Amino acid sequence: MKQFDISRFGALMKWHLMSNRRQILNIFFALTIGFFAMMLFFTQVLDFQVLDDGPSTVRLYQMRLEMSMMTGLFCIFICVLVSAARMFRNMKSTSQRITFLMLPASNFEKWLVRFLHATLFTFLLACLALVAADVVRMLIAPLWDKPFMSGVALLLKDRNRVEVPVDSYKAFVFLFMMGSTLLISHATYILGGALFRKSPFVLTTLVMFVLSVLVGQVLHDSQLMNEITLFDYNMQTGLYVSPWVWIAGTVNYLLALLFYWLSYKLFCRMQVINNKWLNL
């Protein structure tokens, strides 16, 4: 059997979405309600009166709405990490494992379907839920004498307010380090989801916390961070970036690829009857 066939993969993806449509709808409505409650908290619970009922009041409401949208983006990132850790939640029971493992598709196609579901699909679903919650809030805002404005529109309009470096070199350094951090975080939870059977998000977070403490303690005891200047800025020479920054970022990218590959290999080793805690 070929490892990847586009027609077979399309049929598998269609079957996967149809068989999980109720779960997808439940997650969408739960996220929408959660985002809507968060927006009400920022725009209603945190509401306070000012002396001027004119432009300043509208501006305060706009600021609180922007805060709710930024919090929503952070929540979307957390949702993607939780979904990554629960990548193989469709194989919790014996019958679910038999059904999924016996599908007429290659292991790579099965893994890719779950990977896309836990990553891209979850991200799009959470974004749609945020937009839906914003639309509902916007429609009922006049009932509470609040301005009729869209949080999504404010977020897109003020996207340039994010403090991204101006010149191309600074922007590249920023995107390089941010991308490596996000990718290694996601890959770690993907690997944790493939390794742990029970509470994968909690266990993966615990392992990451312990490793972070140990690495931080080693760096502190070795006084290495005191001897290395990672960043420096001079008006004449511009931004200095230590080679260690590029090394650390490159290592993160390579580790992320390794974690994705290990996740796939662990999936290939999954059996109908596995260890109680580990998928080994």
Select from 143, 142, 85 the least CA-distant residue to 114.
85
pLDDT tens per residue across span 67-80 = 889 999 999 999 99
Can you tell me the distance from the alpha carbon of 47 to that of 188, in angstroms, rounded to the nearest whole number?
39
pLDDT tens per residue across span 109-158 = 999 999 999 999 999 999 999 999 999 998 888 887 777 888 888 877 75
The pTM of the full predicted model, rounded to 2 decimals, is: 0.82
Tokens 């975080």 appear where?
Answer: 185
pLDDT tens per residue across span 203-243 = 999 999 998 888 878 766 766 555 565 555 555 555 656 77
Is 278 strand, coil or helix? Answer: strand
Can you tell me the distance from the alpha carbon of 226 to that of 209, in angstroms, rounded to the nearest whole number?
23
Contact 182, 84 (CB under 8 A): no
Q: What is the pLDDT of residue 117?
A: 92
Instruction: State CA 141 to chain mean position distance.
Output: 29
Q: What is the pLDDT of residue 224?
A: 58
Q: Where are the beta strands (DSSP E) in the chain?
A: 231-234, 238-241
Give mean pLDDT, residues 238-257.
Answer: 82
pLDDT tens per residue across span 7-17 = 999 999 999 99
Average pLDDT for the chain: 82
- Is the sign of the CA dihedral 132, 134, 138, 143 positive or negative? positive
Q: Domain residues of the chain, as ranges?
A: 1-162, 165-280
Q: What is the pLDDT of residue 263?
A: 93
